Amino acid sequence: MLIELTLRLGEIKPEEAKDIQYRLSLHEGTYRVFVNGYARTARVVFNPKKLSKDFILKEFEPYGYEVVSEREITLEELIEASMSWKNTAEKT
């Protein structure tokens, strides 16, 4: 099982968001990470056996954050959601 964590961020600059995204992407427990400094949102998909939620949240602590959602997803669901053609393939 993977965890998908969605955050609303406080005061963060786009450059800082890019740095956090890069740092989190270096961990082998991270499957997807998107940090948008303009919209002040973050989405991290990670394996909790390899990377702790607390570690991720510490990265965002200096900027303030609110956990919008946290849900378990399977690797299959992650791959399916990543496919750009998934919506058109279902219609045919």
- The string of DSSP letters for 28-81 reads TTEEEEEEETTTTEEEEEE-TTTS-HHHHHHHHGGG-EEEEEEEEE-HHHHHHH
Q: What is the structure's pLDDT at 82?
A: 80
Instruction: For residue 18, give the amino acid letter.
Output: K
Q: What is the phi-psi region of residue 40: left when phi exceeds 0, alpha when psi lies from -120 to 50, beta otherwise?
A: left
pLDDT digits (tens, 9 = 90+) for 43-84: 999 999 999 999 999 999 999 999 999 999 998 888 888 876
The CATH fold assigned to 2-91 is Alpha-Beta Plaits (3.30.70)
Domain borders along the chain are 2-91
Query: pTM of the full predicted structure?
Result: 0.84
Residue showing tokens 């005061």: 11
